Structure 1
Amino acid sequence: MAGASEALRRFWRRAVQTARLVIGVPDYDTYVAHMRAKHPERGVMSYEEFFDERMRARYRSGGGRCC
């Protein structure tokens, strides 16, 4: 029964992550894990800083990606 419970938990986490990506909500937990694993020398933004930065990057006019 414990295995099924863990599988359901993993499924739910992935479903939530996928839904957030689809609607454009940034995933703070993934960001923190990435920063700690790949850039330990750099500080981690607070959730509020991260959210503001992601929204500015997403809705920036003029600059940014071409497509």
Structure 2
Amino acid sequence: MSITMNTSHPAMTQTDTAQGIKTAGLAKSQAEIEAQMALKLIQSANVTVQPAGASTEALGSIVNISV
């Protein structure tokens, strides 16, 4: 009887490969969902700022100080 260490059975290697492929696929789909969510968040933050009412250039140019 012989004992070998650090060897993989072919069936286990195929199972590990299949699990790795499934995990990579799930990670990719999760990344795509997160990217879509980030884009929606950025688009929702894109708010158009309306300018304030008409201002006068003289506003604040004359200051009366009494001592």
TM-score of the alignment, normalized to the shorter chain, above 0.5:
no
Larger Rg: 2
Q: Which has the higher contact order (CA 8 A, sep 6+)?
A: 1
Question: TM-score category by the smaller chain?
Answer: 0.3 to 0.5
